[in-house]
């Protein structure tokens, strides 16, 4: 392995270690400061509470310089694409200081229209040098987009307002007619335009910080330092890949496609490892669907590679230099415009999970079982609040269980591997701003796949509406093909939506995404747990008892899944447990064959 930087030996000598380290940390610090500014000044909960955004710095080639820590992982693969497209449209000489551009167009951005990119050009000594950029989730973008995207829309026009590399400020002067047109087509213009100003402010802050850094060190030194940083990051990634045995590894996964003629999206991945090189190839994956389940992104390959190599290191262009990602044009993850993309994120987590599944035989001591495998469970509730005299929109997300790991149980109630540090909105904030009562947000027992190391648990969210309105309840996507277990671990479980109107005696399952409800109606949304790792009969009985006491599993689950007998006074009956486990091991081959068949069949 011999990675050469295209900088001169003289410059490398002049780039002393202290200067290199200052520059290495300066750019991520700018991205992080952008994040703090955005979070403090934004208007909608998806930004200031949930943190559904990414703050980045890119150069004039679209090269990723830095991203804020915890920024949404699946945004990172496409920010450079947006910048390159803007340069292709305007040319490098088509930008001026004070410009602000907005875009969300799916032909380039490949996401639901709520994810709005704002970016500005940074000039140093009169020369275009870099672009600060912020992608953030707006509460509404017109059409059917209120909340979490326009599930049920048939094309981008029905989804919402499409903005394709528009200059909303030119040389510092706002285009008020264009800004008014945007505001007039959004149901919550105060929130959207407030978020717009917040994104602009974050970019302006970045411009000031970049000016300080470039004035101190100069363009030549910074460019040399960045090339060294990218090369060192690449070397770290390659060093990890070299520890994986050479070979070709393949796996399949299936993702539910609600609203499409095709009931399941088939994900096929082939991972080729050769020395320090890795190719992640999704050839064989389902073509773009007739529904909303399409995206246009390399995110799944990037996320899986970053998770395998340097998950805790800051992300920059060097993080992906040694990866060859193949996502064929026209497949569900590289759909051709104008494919509907309101549910764009649904295949991405399952695709990243498939990469890990493929590599499990090669590095079994590093790969977890399958996690709940859809982007998140986004809940929205919108209507009119007569007490406040205005319309409202509630937005929150809930995660599920991650797979058990070679050394410990999977995390519970966490968002997907694709979501960075995105989190759910606090109950206090939800109830203060919207006419609802959150009756429960709790871990759901027995949803984690049984294993020597148990899968993480899904969640139960239960909310009572204090006014009539309309719920957005995304359908669950891992009931047909649940999260898999590894090495004898069992499948993850759970995941459905329930509703109970005031006149109902019992709960009813509901597949309806946009559900009108009356005052007093209660919704209950349950998410899926992760798969188990290792034989559940090898789990320490005392740990099973602790899970029962913590209500992670039920007494019946302890008996049926783990072969552990617990007495009335909450103690392990070790003799009865040994007898039960011996019986279960004798019956295990047939039971495992049934589990394997369920995991393999779409």
Measured between its terminal Cα atoms, the distance across the chain in Å is 41
Same domain, 596 and 514: no
Rounded Cα gap, residues 519 and 469, in angstroms: 8
Range of the domain at 577: 537-602
Asked if residue 26 and residue 84 are part of one domain, the reply reads yes
Please report which helix (H) or strand (E) contains residue 255, including its range: strand 247-256
User: Do the Cβ atoms of 136 and 199 come closer than 8 Å?
Assistant: yes
Both 103 and 65 in a single domain? Answer: yes
> Do 556 and 550 contact (CB within 8 A), yes or no?
no
d(CA 56, CA 392): 31
**Pair 545, 528 in one domain:** no
pLDDT above 90 covers what percent of the chain?
76
Instruction: Report the C-alpha gap between 416 and 55 in whole angstroms.
Output: 19
Backbone angles phi, psi at 323, to 5 degrees: -100, 135
Say if residues 580 and 557 touch (Cβ distance below 8 Å): no
pLDDT at 475: 72
Contacts of residues 235-240 at CB distance under 8 Å and 24 or more positions apart, as own/partner, are 235/1, 235/3, 236/309, 236/310, 236/313, 237/305, 237/309, 237/310, 237/318, 237/319, 237/321, 237/322, 237/323, 238/1, 238/3, 238/276, 238/277, 238/322, 239/276, 240/308, 240/309, 240/310
Instruction: Specify if 4 maps to a domain.
Output: no
Rounded mean pLDDT of 377-394?
88
248 in any annotated domain: no
| Per-residue model confidence (pLDDT) at position 2 | 41
- Confidence class of residue 458 from pLDDT cuts 50, 70 and 90? very high
In a domain, 318, yes or no: no
Q: How many CB atoms lie within 10 A of CB 275?
A: 12
Number of structural domains found in the chain: 3
Going by their DSSP bridges, the two strands 166-170 and 127-137 should be labelled as unpaired
3-state secondary structure 308-330: HHCCCCCCCHHHCCCEEEECCCC
Q: Which DSSP string do the residues of 269-316 spell out, in sequence order?
A: EEEEEETTEEEEE-TTPPBPPSSS---B-SHHHHHHHHHHH-TTSPP-
pLDDT surpasses 80 at 243: yes
For residue 465, what pLDDT is reported?
Answer: 96
Higher-scoring residue by pLDDT: 541, 342: 541
pLDDT for res 4: 46
Grade residue 98 by pLDDT with cuts at 50, 70 and 90: very high
The answer on 577 and 433 residing in a single domain is no
DSSP string, 370-419: ----SS-EEEEEEEEETTTTEEEEEEEEE-BPPPP-SSSPPPSSB--TTS
Same domain for 385 and 431? yes
Query: Residue 150: inside a domain, yes or no?
Result: yes
264 belongs to a structural domain: no
Q: What is the C-alpha separation between 300 and 402, in angstroms, rounded? A: 17
Q: How confident is the model at residue 422 (pLDDT cuts 50, 70, 90)?
A: confident
Which pLDDT value is given to residue 545?
Answer: 98
Q: What is the pTM of this model?
A: 0.93
**pLDDT digits 0-9 by tens, 121-143:** 999 999 999 999 999 999 999 99
Residue 391 is assigned to a structural domain of this protein = yes
Mean pLDDT for the stretch of residues 574-600:
79
Residues 528 and 545 in one domain: no
Domain membership of residue 332 (yes or no) is no
Q: Are residues 484 and 582 in the same domain?
A: no
Q: What is the pLDDT of residue 70?
A: 83
Alpha-carbon distance 206 to 68, whole Å? Answer: 12
- Provide the pLDDT confidence category of residue 459 given band limits of 50, 70 and 90: very high
Which of 502, 534, 566 finishes a domain?
Answer: 534
Distances 238 to 21, 305, 321, 322 between C-alpha atoms, Å? 21, 11, 9, 7
**Number of neighbours of residue 100 by Cβ within 10 angstroms:** 21
Q: Report residue 127: phi and psi, to 5°.
A: -115, 135
Nearest to 375 by CA among 344, 342, 339, 409: 344
Residues 461 and 569 in one domain: no
DSSP string covering 59-87: ETT--EEEE-TT--GGGGGGHHHHHHHHH
Q: How many Å apart are CA 155 and CA 442, to the nearest integer? A: 36
Closest CA to 86 of 55, 123, 131: 131
**Residue 199 pLDDT > 50, yes or no?**
yes
Kindly indicate the confidence band of residue 309, based on its pLDDT and cuts at 50, 70 and 90. Answer: very high
Hey, which of 336-350, 385-399, 462-476, 521-535 has the most confident mean pLDDT?
521-535
Phi-psi region of 243 (alpha: psi -120 to 50; beta: other; left: phi over 0): alpha
Is the same domain home to 518 and 585?
no
> Where among 206, 235, 264 does a domain terminate?
235
Identify the bridge partners of residue 517 per DSSP, sorted by sequence position.
469
| Three-point CA angle 338, 339, 345, nearest 5° | 130
Q: What is the pLDDT of residues 313-362, one digit of tens each?
A: 999 999 999 999 999 999 999 999 999 998 888 889 999 999 999 999 99
Domain check: are 552 and 505 in the same one? Answer: no
Q: Tell me what the mean pLDDT of segment 411-422 comes to.
A: 86
Q: For residue 233, what is the DSSP state?
A: H
3: pLDDT confidence band, cut at 50, 70 and 90? Answer: very low
Nearest to 156 by CA among 91, 84, 105: 105
Residue 185 lies in a domain: yes
The pairs formed by 244-249 with CB atoms below 8 angstroms and a separation of 24 or more are 244/273, 244/278, 244/359, 244/362, 244/363, 245/273, 245/362, 245/363, 246/273, 246/274, 246/275, 247/272, 247/273, 247/362, 248/272, 248/273, 249/273, 249/358, 249/359, 249/361, 249/362
CA distance 62 to 81: 7
- Which pLDDT score is estimated for 9? 64
Least Cα distance to 272 among 307, 233, 318, 324 occurs for 324
Question: Quick one: 211 and 80 in the same domain?
Answer: yes
Question: Domain boundary residue among 534, 552, 584?
Answer: 534
pLDDT band at 1 (very low <50, low <70, confident <90, very high): very low
């Amino acid at each position: 392995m011999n990675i050469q930087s295209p900088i001169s030996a003289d410059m490398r000598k002049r780039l002393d270690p202290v200067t290199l380290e200052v520059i290495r940390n300066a750019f991520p610090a700018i991205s992080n400061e952008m994040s703090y500014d955005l979070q403090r000044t934004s208007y909608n909960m998806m930004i200031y509470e949930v943190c559904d955004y990414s703050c980045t710095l890119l150069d004039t080639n679209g090269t990723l310089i830095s991203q804020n820590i915890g920024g949404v992982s699946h945004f990172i693969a496409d920010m450079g694409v947006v910048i390159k497209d803007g340069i292709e449209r305007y040319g490098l000489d088509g930008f001026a200081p004070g410009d602000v551009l907005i875009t969300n167009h799916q032909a380039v951005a490949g996401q639901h229209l709520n994810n709005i990119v704002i970016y500005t050009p940074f000039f140093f000594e009169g020369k275009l040098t870099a672009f600060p950029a912020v992608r953030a989730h707006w509460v509404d973008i017109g059409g059917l987009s209120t909340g979490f995207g326009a599930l049920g829309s048939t094309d981008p026009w029905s989804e919402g307002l499409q903005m394709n590399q528009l200059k909303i400020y030119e040389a510092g002067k706002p285009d008020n007619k264009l800004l008014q047109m945007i505001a007039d087509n959004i149901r919550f213009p105060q929130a959207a335009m407030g978020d717009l100003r917040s994104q602009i402010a974050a970019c302006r802050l970045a411009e000031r910080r970049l000016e300080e850094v470039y004035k101190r060190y100069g363009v030549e030194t910074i460019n040399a330092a960045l090339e060294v940083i990218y090369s060192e990051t690449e070397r770290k990634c390659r060093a990890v890949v070299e520890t994986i045995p050479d070979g070709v590894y393949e796996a399949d996964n299936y993702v539910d496609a609600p609203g499409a003629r095709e009931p399941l999206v088939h994900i096929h991945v082939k991972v080729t490892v050769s020395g320090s090189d890795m190719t992640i190839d999704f050839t064989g994956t389902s073509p773009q669907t007739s529904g909303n389940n399409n995206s246009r992104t390399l995110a799944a390959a990037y996320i899986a590679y970053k998770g395998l190599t340097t998950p805790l290191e800051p992300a920059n262009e060097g993080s992906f230099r040694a990866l060859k990602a193949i996502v064929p044009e026209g497949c569900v993850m590289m759909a051709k415009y104008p494919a509907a993309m309101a549910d764009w994120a649904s295949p991405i987590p399952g695709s990243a999970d498939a990469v890990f599944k493929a590599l499990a035989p090669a590095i079994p001591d590093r790969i977890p079982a399958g996690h709940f495998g859809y982007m998140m469970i986004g809940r929205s509730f919108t209507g009119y609040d007569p007490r406040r005299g205005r319309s409202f929109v509630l937005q929150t997300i809930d995660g599920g269980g991650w797979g058990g790991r070679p050394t410990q149980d999977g995390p519970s109630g966490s968002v997907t591997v694709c979501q960075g540090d995105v989190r759910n909105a606090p109950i206090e904030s939800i109830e203060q701003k919207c006419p609802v009562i959150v009756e429960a947000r709790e871990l759901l027992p027995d949803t984690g796949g049984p294993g020597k190391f148990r899968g993480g648990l899904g969640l139960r969210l239960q909310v009572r509406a204090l006014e009539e309105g309309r719920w957005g309840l995304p359908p669950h996507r891992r009931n047909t093909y649940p999260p898999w277990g590894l090495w004898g671990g069992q499948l993850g479980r759970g995941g459905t939506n329930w509703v109970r109107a005031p006149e109902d005696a019992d709960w009813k399952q509901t597949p309806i995404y946009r559900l009108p409800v009356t005052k007093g109606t209660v919704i209950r949304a349950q998410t899926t747990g992760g798969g188990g790792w290792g034989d559940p009969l090898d789990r320490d009985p005392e740990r099973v008892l602790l899970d029962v006491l913590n209500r992670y599993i039920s007494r019946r689950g302890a008996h049926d899944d783990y072969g552990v007998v617990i007495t009335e006074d909450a103690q392990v009956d070790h003799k009865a447990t040994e007898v039960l486990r011996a019986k279960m091991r004798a019956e295990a081959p047939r039971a495992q064959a049934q589990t394997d068949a369920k995991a393999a069949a779409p």
